[in-house]
């Protein structure tokens, strides 16, 4: 078996495998591209493609900073080769290769949870497709926010709204870089309409991208792709624009994720979840991930953690996580579970009396899945303990909770 990058010559085999795995229409034009935003890994048995996985280049915003991310999609193994460890093999290779190019986390939308869990992923967010009756918006009136249809000249303002929201959230993709390079014309023109919310100072504070759908009978629905605002009155204005479709589209379908303030503005009842796409994360470079993400600016302290990560062995060890008012770093302090991990006298001296004592005492143990949930933020350590993702000493739990209290993770782009 040979593990290598796919080339254009492998396009047909790869497309056929996607068809057999995911039921992609076989007659459709092949969406096989290799470029700066995607690498495709394959395992070959002679000339036969036996397994594959695609790795996309993204950045996620965590704690207000960019975290280099490998977005994995199209993981598939030919039926005859399933159950022989090929998915594990191609994914483990991808972890190392992604880390080499600077990625510190891997994320994906999963089908089989157990497969990815055994590879160190854990679910951190959900992309939710929901709906509510348009009549639920009756009576909604913005106070000061006005509405205007966007033109390509508003591209910058639309991107700025998304960027502001991504910067204050956790895990949202940055929507820039090679995977998101689209013109302002397409950004606005890919929808039936993009409607802007404009505050009393003339600034764009939110936008709504929507498709009208067909018909005006009881089955007609307005589909909202993005509904994002940085102000409550912006939500009221954008939702009132949707409410004005009441007579012709009785249903609103909408994509959402995480804690969406929209729910605090909709006056009526009837919200229903139609479809959920679970999003999983894996930390492939613990030290790199800690250095990359942002941390609470008002917090300083040290935590000692034991990590056991056989698939990314560079993560394994007793780590000292040091937080200093908005920045973080990880020092590898020894082998997990050892009572006296500090063998380097110089390091012991640097750590000082207190630091050395902390390193030598019992430390909490965290699984790769626990690391994923903790890193994304918003889940208390007590919950991780209940799920078996953290065990052992609880002496750092209060500090860990403060450090990872972060916003509820969210994702708004399917890949
Ligand atoms: C899912 C798929 C990629 C797994 O490939 P595979 O080569 O059979 O997987 P592996 O043999 O490497 O299995 C690795 C681990 O995952 C587990 N696993 C694999 N498929 C699983 C499934 N469908 N459900 C639960 N666990 C699964 C295995 O038991 C194994 O666990 P272990 O190492 O602890 O024993 C393959 O069945 C496939 O192509 N399915 C159709 C497409 C698909 O669902 N792709 C995933 C898209 S997100």
- Work out the angle at residue 85's Cα, subtended by the Cα atoms of residues 82 and 87, and round it to the nearest 5 degrees: 75
Q: Hey, CA dihedral for 176, 178, 180, 183, is it positive or negative? A: positive
Q: Which atom of ligand 1 is nearest to the CA of 72?
A: 48
- Domain annotation covers residue 229: yes
pLDDT in tens, 361-408: 789 999 999 999 999 999 999 999 999 999 999 999 999 999 999 899
- Domain annotation covers residue 395: yes
**In the structure encoding, which two tokens stand for residue 160, read together?**
């700025």
Same domain, 227 and 310: no
The CB of 86 under 6 Å from ligand 1? The reply is yes
Q: Cα(200)–Cα(118) distance, rounded to whole angstroms?
A: 52
Number of domains making up the chain: 3
Beta strands 146-149 and 193-198, pairing class: antiparallel
Contact (Cβ atoms closer than 8 angstroms) between residue 372 and residue 283: yes
- Work out the angle at residue 16's Cα, subtended by the Cα atoms of residues 12 and 19, and round it to the nearest 5 degrees: 145
Same domain, 301 and 348: yes
User: Which mutation among 55, 82, 93, 115 tests ligand 1's pocket best, with the greatest number of atoms within 8 A of CB?
Assistant: 115
Q: Hey, CA dihedral for 20, 26, 32, 37, is it positive or negative? A: negative
Same domain, 376 and 313: yes
Same domain, 95 and 159: no
pLDDT of residue 332: 72
Stated as kind and residue range, the H or E segment containing 347 is helix 345-360
The CB of 82 under 6 Å from ligand 1? The reply is yes
- Domain annotation covers residue 359: yes
- Domain annotation covers residue 414: no
The CB of 159 under 6 Å from ligand 1? The reply is no
Same domain, 185 and 147: yes
State the CB neighbour count (10 A cutoff) for residue 156: 11
pLDDT of residue 24: 77
- Averaged pLDDT in 10-residue chunks for the chain of 415 residues: 97 94 72 85 98 97 98 97 97 98 98 96 98 97 98 98 98 94 96 98 98 98 98 98 98 97 98 98 98 97 96 96 97 59 44 56 94 98 98 97 96 97
pLDDT of residue 175: 97
Q: Cα(259)–Cα(378) distance, rounded to whole angstroms?
A: 11
Å from CA of 184 to ligand 1 middle:
40
Same domain, 240 and 329: no
Same domain, 337 and 222: no
- CATH at residue 151: 3.40.630.30
The CB of 282 under 6 Å from ligand 1? The reply is no
pLDDT of residue 182: 93
The CB of 93 under 6 Å from ligand 1? The reply is no
Q: Cα(41)–Cα(53) distance, rounded to whole angstroms?
A: 5
Same domain, 260 and 311: no
- CATH at residue 324: 3.30.1050.10
The CB of 92 under 6 Å from ligand 1? The reply is no
The CB of 53 under 6 Å from ligand 1? The reply is no
pLDDT of residue 362: 86
Q: Which atom of ligand 1 is nearest to the CA of 73?
A: 48
Exposed, middle or buried, 107 (CB in 10 Å: 0-12/13-18/19+)? buried
Stated as kind and residue range, the H or E segment containing 91 is helix 86-100
Bridge partners (DSSP) listed for residue 324: 300, 327
The CB of 90 under 6 Å from ligand 1? The reply is no
pLDDT of residue 339: 42
User: Which mutation among 50, 80, 112, 414 tests ligand 1's pocket best, with the greatest number of atoms within 8 A of CB?
Assistant: 112
Å from CA of 414 to ligand 1 middle:
21
pLDDT of residue 26: 62
pLDDT of residue 415: 95
- Domain annotation covers residue 129: no
pTM (predicted TM-score): 0.93
CA dihedral 343, 348, 353, 356 (to 10 degrees): -50
- Domain annotation covers residue 374: yes
- Domain annotation covers residue 108: no
What's 143's DSSP letter?
Answer: S
* Helix/strand/coil for 210: strand
Exposed, middle or buried, 342 (CB in 10 Å: 0-12/13-18/19+)? buried
User: Which mutation among 87, 114, 277, 282 tests ligand 1's pocket best, with the greatest number of atoms within 8 A of CB?
Assistant: 87
Residue with the smallest CA separation from ligand 1 atom 25 is 114
Single out the residue in 75, 103, 131 at which a domain terminates: 103
- Domain annotation covers residue 119: no
Q: Which atom of ligand 1 is nearest to the CA of 89?
A: 12
The CB of 67 under 6 Å from ligand 1? The reply is no
> By C-alpha distance, which of 367, 363, 396 is closest to 382?
396
Q: Which atom of ligand 1 is nearest to the CA of 115?
A: 16
The CB of 224 under 6 Å from ligand 1? The reply is no
For residue 228, give its domain range. 139-267
Q: Cα(272)–Cα(56) distance, rounded to whole angstroms?
A: 32
Å from CA of 274 to ligand 1 middle:
26
The CB of 72 under 6 Å from ligand 1? The reply is no
Single out the residue in 103, 126, 149 at which a domain terminates: 103
Tokens 């479709």 belong to 245
Same domain, 191 and 220: yes
Who's near 284: CB < 8 A, 6+ residues apart? 70, 95, 98, 99, 103, 104, 105, 106, 312, 315
Å from CA of 112 to ligand 1 middle:
7
Å from CA of 311 to ligand 1 middle:
16
Same domain, 81 and 143: no
């Amino acid at each position: 078996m040979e593990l290598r990058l796919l080339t254009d010559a492998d396009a047909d085999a790869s497309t056929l495998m996607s068809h057999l795995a995911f039921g992609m229409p076989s007659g459709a034009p092949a969406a096989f591209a290799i470029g700066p935003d995607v690498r495709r890994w394959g395992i070959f048995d002679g000339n036969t493609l036996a397994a594959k996985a695609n790795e996309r280049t993204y950045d996620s915003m965590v704690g207000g900073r960019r975290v280099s991310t490998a977005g994995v999609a199209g993981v598939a193994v030919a039926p005859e080769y399933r159950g022989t460890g090929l998915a594990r093999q191609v994914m483990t290779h991808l972890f190392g290769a992604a880390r080499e190019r600077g990625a510190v986390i891997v994320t994906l939308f999963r089908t089989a949870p157990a497969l990815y869990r055994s590879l160190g992923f854990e679910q951190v967010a959900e992309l939710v497709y929901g709906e509510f009756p348009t009549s639920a918006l009756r009576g909604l009136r913005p106070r000061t926010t006005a509405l205007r249809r966007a033109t390509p000249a508003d591209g910058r303002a639309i991107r700025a709204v998304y960027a502001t929201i991504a910067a204050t959230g956790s895990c949202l993709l940055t929507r820039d870089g090679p995977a998101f390079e689209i013109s302002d014309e397409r950004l606005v023109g890919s929808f039936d309409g993009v409607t802007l919310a404009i505050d009393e100072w003339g600034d764009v504070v939110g936008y709504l991208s929507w498709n009208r759908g067909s018909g005006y009978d009881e089955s007609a629905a307005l589909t909202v792709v993005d509904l994002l605002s940085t102000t409550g009155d912006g939500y009221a204005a954008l939702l009132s624009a949707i409410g004005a479709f009441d007579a012709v589209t009785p249903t609103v379908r909408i994509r959402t994720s995480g804690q969406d303030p929209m729910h605090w503005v909709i006056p009526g009842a009837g919200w229903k979840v139609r479809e959920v796409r679970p999003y999983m994360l894996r930390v492939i470079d613990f030290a790199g991930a800690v250095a990359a993400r942002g941390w609470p600016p008002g917090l300083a302290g040290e935590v000692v953690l034991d990590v056991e990560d056989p698939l990314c062995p560079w993560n394994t060890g007793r780590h000292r996580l040091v937080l200093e008012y908005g920045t973080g770093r990880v020092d590898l302090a020894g082998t997990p579970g050892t009572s006296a991990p500090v063998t380097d006298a110089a390091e012991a001296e640097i750590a000082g009396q207190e630091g050395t004592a902390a390193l030598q005492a019992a430390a909490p143990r965290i699984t790769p899945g626990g690391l994923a949930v903790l890193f994304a933020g918003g889940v208390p350590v007590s919950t991780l303990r209940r799920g078996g993702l953290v065990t052992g000493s609880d002496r750092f739990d209060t500090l860990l909770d403060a450090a990872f209290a972060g916003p509820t993770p969210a994702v708004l782009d399917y890949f």
